[in-house]
Amino acid sequence: MGDHLKRHHIALRAGTAVAAVTSLLALSACGARVGEETSAASESCVDVSGDSIKIGFINSLSGTMAISETTVNDVLHLAADEINEAGGVNGYELEVVEEDGASEPATFAERSQRLIAQECVAAVFGGWTSASRQAMLPVFEGNNSLLFYPTQYEGLEASDNIFYTGATTNQQIIPALDYLLEEEEVESLYLVGSDYVFPRTANMIIKQWADENDVEILGEDYTPLGSTDFTTIANQISRSGADAVFNTLNGDSNVAFFRQYNSLGLSAETMPVISVSIAEEEVDGIGASNLEGQLTSWNYYQTLDTPENEAFVEAFQEEYGASRVTSDVMQSAYNSLYLWKAMVEEADSFAVDDIRDVADGISFDAPEGTVTIDGETQHVTKTPRIGRINADGLIDTIWEGELTEPDPFLETYSWADEEEAEEFAEEAGEGDDADEGSDD
Amino acid sequence: MDFVLPQLVAGLSVGSILLLAAIGLSLTFGQMGVINMAHGEFIMVGAYTAFVTQGVLGHAGLSLLVSIPVAFVVGGALGLVLEQTLIRHMYHRPLDTLLATFGVGLILQQVARDLFGAPAVDVQTPSWLRGSVEILGTAVPWSRIFILGLVILVVAGLSALLAYTSLGRRIRATVLNRDLAETSGISTRRTDRLTFFVGSGLAGIAGVTVTLIGSTSPTIGQSYIVDAFLVVVAGGIGKIKGAVIAAFSLGLLQAFIEYSTTASIAKFLVLVIVVAFLQFRPQGLFSVRTRSLA
């Protein structure tokens, strides 16, 4: 009996040892593989021996974000075609490799890894939601590769491996607030948003700004993404008597919100709504009649009267049909390809480090006006523009700010509480990690 | 206290939409035991029917009225095809219907996306449904009053159908005891088909009304399907009366909780309350007393 126990014990120990050795072996194998990967990545596999160069587009061509992101994909192709027709980049023809992010952050990460490591693209263009950008960020940093991200977003980020060609908060949200204060003389605001990272960060900044400027925040409501019932919120807004509503709702919720807002007799005259995620593309689905007279804050509108924009809109409609419209994010995506081209030509190289070295001050005469890269944050300069939605569903500029340097961390604003912002950014990051975990 | 009345109205209007979305399901899931996950997509089809009708007729008011019966027929026909091709083979396997109809729902979404594009389309609200009327010091949107009126008509019509027509008697007999009904000479096949036609047609009508309050896009069905099941389960499977009471109770709960908390918390709390309620009454508010052994 005793012997038996002892033998059992030994057998167990031997088993443990075997397990330990196996796992060690496995670990070392893992380590080796990781090492190989990093070394392979640091000397990038981009092939410059032929007469064409590969670039990657990653957009959601399926899933809930496809509505918005396919338009960006269209315009990226337009830019690539234009560049190829004009002789390519540094004599190389662009060869586009396309991936579908499928509206899933995890898919964005995996597909961008494929673009970089297997397709060996020189740069990747795309992404829309902050969740997709945050999921791709470690992939691009780990491979020292380049992502061009075209969407306006909540700021508080600057990665060496991302060029941000959309607006950050000080180029969209703060100008919208300044406009409301100076031109509409609002003294109170009501905040409505979808319940995720962008609206909550935006509203945190709005509240700090309001403190500084003695504007009263009369209410702050969030609804789940895709929510269709705004009866209670519309009631509360109506009863609050606020001077204006700041709207950070996303997607289809806007339709329900504006229909129910209007049906209570509220309108642009009685209580204007300023929106930061409704552009020309969305107006059609919401119904121009539900939106007429309401305000938006962007850097670009299809109606902008510049020769660059005229050519851009004409080229886009020729390619995709006269009924199609152009929007801010589309335009930023279009610019991103040209900015990359300008950097490559300046650096005379496709290498990421060389591009980064020349980035500061590179500019492009974009449809929205000349945009220039700030080398430190890798964001671009933008002109804030407040627009009013007209009966045709297009947006007319009614106010234009100064050309604004990007300031993603709001360092130049005394009222911005840095600690709160950092804490918030961290929490948001953690929250997204948790989301990704559940996606797996 | 001045928030009570507006929230009461809000609760009633939320409830009326819940009820419209759920009433067809109450018939197909409740009466026939078929878990039709494509019910939400039938609502979506109804919404696009309103869009197409408006495109053809042009006039927003006329097209709304015309699209209600048209959507009933379109939704019903779709339900009939689904019943004939898939569901009738699975009457004794409810979990299989769940998977099969889920797949059908995905297909319908894709078809809508291919036909009408991924972005939402605009169905215009007729001018006489815009704005609101003041009732006891509360602004009540005309569109909500219209929906409330429509849902009262639909419930009355359905109740009358079940109570007074021969089809209604056959449906009730089939639900109570399928085998006995069949031996009594009732064609349960025919009854199944007609029940499905009516249930899916009601989803079509619900689809027309949701264009008055929200977006018309390929995925709108998803916004209503969970709530619809919630209403049917909480109300007690197979009872129109249960669905009516459950829909308005949930609507009022949602409105009052949301007023004092937030939309997300209200949704969560309503779910918790329903789950807790089902602990005490697993059969829901009301349920069919069946004589069948199954």
3-state secondary structure (DSSP) of residue A339: helix
Cβ–Cβ contacts within 10 Å for residue A423, how many? Answer: 12
Percent helix, percent strand, percent coil in chain A, to nearest 5:
50, 20, 35
Q: Which whole number is the average pLDDT over A277-303?
A: 92
- pLDDT(A420) > 70: yes
Q: Identify which of A266, A225, A221 has the alpha carbon closest to the alpha carbon of residue A247.
A: A221
In angstroms, the separation between the Cα of residue A394 and the nearest Cα of chain B is 15
Q: Identify which of A192, A155, A186, A152 has the alpha carbon closest to the alpha carbon of residue A72.
A: A152
CB contact under 8 A, B131 and A265: yes
**Residue A11: which pLDDT band, with cuts at 50, 70 and 90?**
very low
Q: Tell me: the pLDDT tens digits for A85-142?
A: 999 999 999 999 999 999 899 999 999 999 999 999 999 999 998 889 999 999 999 9
Q: Closest to B259 (Cβ–Cβ): which among A232, A265, A282?
A: A232
Q: Which whole number is the average pLDDT over A160-177?
A: 96
**Pairing assessment for the beta strands A162-164 and A147-149 based on DSSP bridges:** parallel
Element housing B273 (H / E):
helix B263-280
Query: Which chain A residues have a beta carbon less than 8 Å from that of B267?
Result: 224
Q: What is the ipTM of this complex?
A: 0.81
Torsion angle of C-alpha atoms B212, B215, B219, B222, degrees rounded to 10: -60
Q: What is the C-alpha to C-alpha distance for residues B287 and B209, in angstroms, rounded to an integer? A: 28
Distances (CA, A) of A223 to A267, A360, A407: 21, 40, 29
Residue A407's pLDDT is what? 95
**Residue A438: which pLDDT band, with cuts at 50, 70 and 90?**
very low
**Residue B104: which pLDDT band, with cuts at 50, 70 and 90?**
very high
3-state secondary structure (DSSP) of residue A411: coil
Residue A406's pLDDT is what? 96
**Please, is B252 exposed, middle or buried when counting C-beta atoms within 10 Å of its C-beta (0-12, 13-18, 19+)?**
middle
Between residues A330 and B93, the one the model is more confident about: A330
Q: Tell me: the pLDDT tens digits for A141-160?
A: 999 999 999 999 999 899 99
Q: What is the C-alpha to C-alpha distance for residues B283 and B75, in angstroms, rounded to an integer? A: 29
**Residue A251: which pLDDT band, with cuts at 50, 70 and 90?**
confident
Residue A285's pLDDT is what? 82
Choice among A4-18, B116-130, B203-217 with the minimum mean pLDDT: A4-18
Structure tokens at B81: 């095809």
CB contact under 8 A, A260 and B258: no
Residue with token string 């057998």: A11
CB distance A103 to A131 below 8 Å: no
CB contact under 8 A, A231 and B13: yes
Q: What is the C-alpha to C-alpha distance for residues A199 and A283, in angstroms, rounded to an integer? A: 20
In angstroms, the separation between the Cα of residue B39 and the nearest Cα of chain A is 18
**Please, is A141 exposed, middle or buried when counting C-beta atoms within 10 Å of its C-beta (0-12, 13-18, 19+)?**
middle
**Residue B1: which pLDDT band, with cuts at 50, 70 and 90?**
low
Which neighbouring-strand residues pair with A246?
Answer: A191, A274
Q: Tell me: the pLDDT tens digits for A364-395?
A: 999 999 999 999 999 999 999 999 999 999 99
Choice among A9-18, A200-209, B99-108, B245-254 with the minimum mean pLDDT: A9-18
CB contact under 8 A, B118 and A66: yes
- pLDDT(A430) > 60: no
Buried b (16+ CB within 10 A) or exposed e, A43-57: ebebeeeeeebbbbb
Q: What is the C-alpha to C-alpha distance for residues B26 and A322, in angstroms, rounded to an integer? A: 46
Between residues A397 and B119, the one the model is more confident about: A397
CB contact under 8 A, A229 and B122: no
CB distance B208 to B71 below 8 Å: yes
**Residue A62: which pLDDT band, with cuts at 50, 70 and 90?**
confident
Q: Closest to A229 (Cβ–Cβ): which among B14, B125, B132?
A: B14
Interface test with B, best of A62, A72, A225, A255 (most B CBs within 10 A): A255
CB contact under 8 A, A255 and B120: yes
Query: Which chain B residues have a beta carbon less than 8 Å from that of A254?
Result: 215
Q: Which residues contact B50 (CB under 8 A, 6 or more apart)?
A: B63, B64, B67, B71, B123, B207, B208, B211, B216
Cβ–Cβ contacts within 10 Å for residue B65, how many? Answer: 14
Q: Which whole number is the average pLDDT over A403-411?
A: 94
3-state secondary structure (DSSP) of residue B161: helix
**Residue A427: which pLDDT band, with cuts at 50, 70 and 90?**
low
Q: Closest to A285 (Cβ–Cβ): which among B121, B131, B222?
A: B121
Residue B293's pLDDT is what? 47
Highest mean pLDDT among A33-37, A99-103, A309-313, B27-31: A309-313
State residue A128 phi and psi, 5-degree precision: -135, -60
Report how many helices (DSSP H) and strands (DSSP E) chain A contains, helices first: 14, 15
Q: Closest to A259 (Cβ–Cβ): which among B121, B213, B262?
A: B213
Query: Which chain B residues have a beta carbon less than 8 Å from that of A289?
Result: 122, 124
Q: Closest to A227 (Cβ–Cβ): which among B123, B255, B263?
A: B263
Q: Tell me: the pLDDT tens digits for A20-54?
A: 444 444 444 443 333 334 444 455 789 989 999 99
The number of C-beta contacts closer than 8 angstroms across A and B is 117
- pLDDT(A433) > 70: no
Report how many helices (DSSP H) and strands (DSSP E) chain B contains, helices first: 11, 2
CB contact under 8 A, B6 and A226: no
Q: Which whole number is the average pLDDT over A64-85?
A: 92
Q: Tell me: the pLDDT tens digits for A345-365?
A: 999 999 999 999 999 999 999
Residue with token string 């009540």: B140
In angstroms, the separation between the Cα of residue B45 and the nearest Cα of chain A is 17
Helices B60-85 and B39-57 pack at an angle, to 10 degrees, of 140
- pLDDT(A2) > 50: no
Interface test with B, best of A73, A200, A235, A283 (most B CBs within 10 A): A235
Q: Which whole number is the average pLDDT over A233-261?
A: 90
Radius of gyration of chain B (CA): 19
The overall average pLDDT reported for chain B is 88
Residue B291's pLDDT is what? 53
Residue A43's pLDDT is what? 57
The overall average pLDDT reported for chain A is 86
**Residue A440: which pLDDT band, with cuts at 50, 70 and 90?**
very low
Residue A436's pLDDT is what? 33
Q: How many CA atoms lie within 13 A of B273 on its CB side?
A: 15
Residue B174's pLDDT is what? 84
Q: Closest to B215 (Cβ–Cβ): which among A239, A265, A285?
A: A285
- pLDDT(B54) > 90: yes
CB distance B179 to B291 below 8 Å: no
Query: Which chain B residues have a beta carbon less than 8 Å from that of A224?
Result: 263-264, 267
